[in-house]
């Protein structure tokens, strides 16, 4: 299996419908030794450093904290389902990841709870060369034999989160007058046009005249200057 250049950049391909693809990010060379017990840290010692060697695995891991944007987010500790393929190449290890994650939030129109699942695809080269401290250099590096997927997944998942999630595509939202949920209120929901306060007293007198059986005076709308 090959991959597209330039090396050290995030490589993407056309995903299936309703999925998202990660975008490139700046280099993140580990500043402290990785803990191999962390769920998103992979040990590459079982992957021969021979170009073309492959290793594929699936795992379910807890979502890290602070995966949110706008009105949606991935709850910390929720299950991330991962399919990971590691491939040895000349410059390092090429990681290809498909991740599915639950998303919760509020509908941007009616503010009701929203729950859905997103799926992202990302591909990243982790070079054998250790970081030199140049923060402007693009790409990622292995930490010894360890590979940290968290920064790659974090970028991909946050970019895939909807900024304005909807409970449904045709959500009618809230009534601008009373704030009622229009989806529950139904098509008959509406409000009478407010009566001009200048006519309220006359309307009251008309109602009283009708109740005693006398003809009510005629109401004529006037312009803003007081003329018919």
- What pLDDT is stored for residue 131 in this prediction? 54
Calpha distance 190→64 (Å, rounded) = 45
Q: Which residue has the higher pLDDT, 212 or 20?
A: 212
Q: What does the pLDDT read at residue 211?
A: 62
Check residue 23 and give its pLDDT.
43
* pLDDT of the residue at 220: 56
Alpha helices in the chain (DSSP H): 150-160, 182-185, 197-212
Q: How far apart are CA 79 and CA 150, in angstroms?
A: 14
pLDDT by residue (tens digit) across 141-176?
Answer: 999 999 999 999 999 999 999 999 999 888 888 888
Residue 32: predicted pLDDT = 67
DSSP states of 80-126: EEEEEEEEE-SSEEEEEEEEEEEEEEE-TTT--EEEEEEEEEEEEEE
Q: For the chain, first and last CA: distance in Å? A: 84
With a pLDDT cut of 90, the percent of the chain lying above it is: 49
Strand 140-141 relative to strand 113-127: parallel, antiparallel, unpaired? Answer: parallel
Q: Within its chain, how far is the Cα of 126 from the centroid?
A: 26
Indicate the pLDDT class of residue 65, thresholds 50, 70 and 90: very high
Most confident option among 1-10, 31-40, 88-97: 88-97
DSSP-derived secondary structure letter, 170: T
Lowest mean pLDDT: which of 65-79, 191-205, 208-222? 208-222
Please state the rounded mean pLDDT for residues 78-98: 96
Indicate whether 214 pLDDT > 60: no
pLDDT of 11 reads: 32
Token pair listed for 137? 């250099």
Q: Which residues of 213-227 are buried (b: 16+ CB within 10 A; e: fewer)?
A: eeeeeeeeeeeeeee
pLDDT at 20 over 80: no
pLDDT of 8 reads 36
- Read off the pTM: 0.65
**Sign of the four-CA dihedral 211, 217, 222, 224:** negative
Q: Provide the pLDDT for residue 114.
A: 93
Least confident of 14-18, 34-38, 80-84, 185-189: 14-18
Check residue 215 and give its pLDDT: 56
Measured CA to CA, the distance from residue 82 to residue 146 in angstroms comes to 17
Mean pLDDT of 108-119: 92
What's the pLDDT at 210? 65
- pLDDT at residue 10 in the model: 32
Tokens representing residue 45 in the block: 């010692």
| Beta bridge partner(s), residue 200 | none
> What is the domain partition of the chain in residue ranges?
20-160
Among 40-54, 141-155, 200-214, which stretch is predicted with the lowest mean pLDDT? 200-214
């Amino acid at each position: 299996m090959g991959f597209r250049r330039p090396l050290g950049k995030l490589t993407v391909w056309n995903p299936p419908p309703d999925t998202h693809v990660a975008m490139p990010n700046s280099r993140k060379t580990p500043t402290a030794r990785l803990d191999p017990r962390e769920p998103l840290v992979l040990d590459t010692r079982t992957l021969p450093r021979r170009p073309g060697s492959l290793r594929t695995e699936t795992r379910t891991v807890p979502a890290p904290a602070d995966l949110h944007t706008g009105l949606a987010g991935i709850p910390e500790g929720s299950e991330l389902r991962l399919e990971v393929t590691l491939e040895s190449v000349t410059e390092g290890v090429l990681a290809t990841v498909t991740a599915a994650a639950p998303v919760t939030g509020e509908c941007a129109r009616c503010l009701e709870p929203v729950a859905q699942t997103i799926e992202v695809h990302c591909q990243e080269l982790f070079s054998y060369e250790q970081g030199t401290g140049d923060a402007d250099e693009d790409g990622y590096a292995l930490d010894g034999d360890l590979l940290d997927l968290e920064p790659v997944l974090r970028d991909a998942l946050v970019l895939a989160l909807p900024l304005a999630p909807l409970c449904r595509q045709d959500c009618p939202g809230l009534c601008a007058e009373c704030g009622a949920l229009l989806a529950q209120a139904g098509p008959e929901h509406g409000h009478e046009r407010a009566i001009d306060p200048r006519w309220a007293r006359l309307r009251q007198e008309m109602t009283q005249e009708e109740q005693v059986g006398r003809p009510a005076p005629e109401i004529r709308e006037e312009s803003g200057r007081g003329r018919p």
